[in-house]
Structure 1
Amino acid sequence: MTTTMITTPGLADVTTGIRYALRSAADWTDAARLVADELRGRLPDIAVLTPEQRLGDPDKPTGHLLHAEPDGSFSVTAVVWRPGQATRIHDHITWCVVVVLQGVEHEELFDADLNPIGVNDNRPGEVTGFAPPGDIHRIVNTGTETAISLHVYGTDLSRVGSSARRYYEPANAEN
């Protein structure tokens, strides 16, 4: 007997893999690693979004909640980023795993004092994961095409609304 309703076509294999990975996770860091490993073998197709959803919003990155596990253990969201769109610098309320489906997501990483500590250019098929603390970052679509990524968060976003815990406004960072 299943306890979930998959409302987005193409996600059944992904959500099954996430549930499997979370069964053996000891903590948030472990959950992020295990879910990332599981998703590398179950990359979803861009068709998890409708053609209309893939267009995004000209004013800001657009998130589409695709699945929220009934027990609150995880959510799956797709984010559509048009060229030049970015998040503010932020951290998270829980672990996260990101799969890039299209385009390039440029990630800027910061330490607790908001000093830059690294950058990643994540391309289609690349899977990354992280868990607080040490998850302060900003995402920018530095490419010329729309970027689309799938985000798995260790909470029910339909209940909490956002994965961001805090936003940062450093004097030396562009926002």
Structure 2
Amino acid sequence: MTVPTLSVRTTVLTDALVSEIRAVVARGDAPELTAYLVGERLRPYLGRADLLTGQQQEGNPDSYRQHVLHAESDGSFSVVALVWLPGQQTSIHDHVSWCVTGVHQGVESERRYRLVPAGDGARLTATEDVVNPEGSVCGFAPPGDIHRVQNSCTATAISIHVYGADVVRLGSSIRRVYRVPVCEADG
């Protein structure tokens, strides 16, 4: 993953989305409700050709690429475009805050996990596989947000992520990368 940097140019559509997100976040609702309401605001913007600039759609051959579209000055939320070339994926991780993801282009797959105690520590057990085509929106709030995401199509995939944190200041929305044994099948 590349280090996030704030994009200097936005589109009219991105500015409108940020305004809608700002209104939801200002309500001060619980994280789960905030994520749900932000997801409802994000959905109509997905797939729109004028949402991102050409530069904000550029990938990186080494890893998925983050383009920070907005970081609210009070640190309450960030909007990020993630560009995934075919086969690129995250590590297994969780997040520092609530998060909403919408697939803008392509198809992304997500494997969700549960951390379970084991005799010598802990392990992860796969709990669900989700395929998210263009237009799909999902949201969550910690705890219980352990997952891995990947581009599961043969073309570039782009997703829009809204985090309840300032990813420019933090460097990432990831709280922890899991390096424990993994059981990929339920059992």
Q: TM-score, normalised by structure 2?
A: 0.83
Which runs of 5 or more structure 2 residues have no equivalent in the other structure? 1-7, 117-123
What displacement does 1:55 show? 3.3
The 3 A distance-change label for structure 1 pair 57 and 101 is same
1:104-123, aligned counterparts within 5 Å?
A: 104-113=107-116, 114-123=124-133
1:64-83, aligned counterparts within 5 Å?
A: 64-83=67-86
Q: Percent identity?
A: 47
Aligned: 1:19 with 2:22:
yes
Q: Would the aligned equivalents of 1:11 and 1:44 in 2 still touch at CA under 8 Å?
A: no
Match of 1:124 among 134, 137, 145: 134
Report the equivalent of 1:8. 10
Match of 1:165 among 154, 172, 175: 175
The structure where strand makes up a greater share of residues is 2
Q: Report the count of equivalent residues.
A: 169
Aligned: 1:34 with 2:37:
yes
Of 98-107 and 23-32, more deviation after overlay is shown by 23-32
Task: Specify the SS of the correspondent of 2:182.
Answer: coil
Q: Would the aligned equivalents of 1:13 and 1:42 in 2 still touch at CA under 8 Å?
A: no
Deviations 1:87-125 (A, max 9, x none): 000000000001101111100000122111101111111
Report the equivalent of 1:85. 88
Report the equivalent of 1:135. 145
Pairwise CA RMSD:
1.9
Q: Would the aligned equivalents of 2:46 and 2:134 in 1 still touch at CA under 8 Å?
A: no
Deviations 1:129-155 (A, max 9, x none): 111001000001121111000100001
1:37-76, aligned counterparts within 5 Å?
A: 37-43=40-46, 45-76=48-79
Q: Would the aligned equivalents of 1:66 and 1:76 in 2 still touch at CA under 8 Å?
A: yes
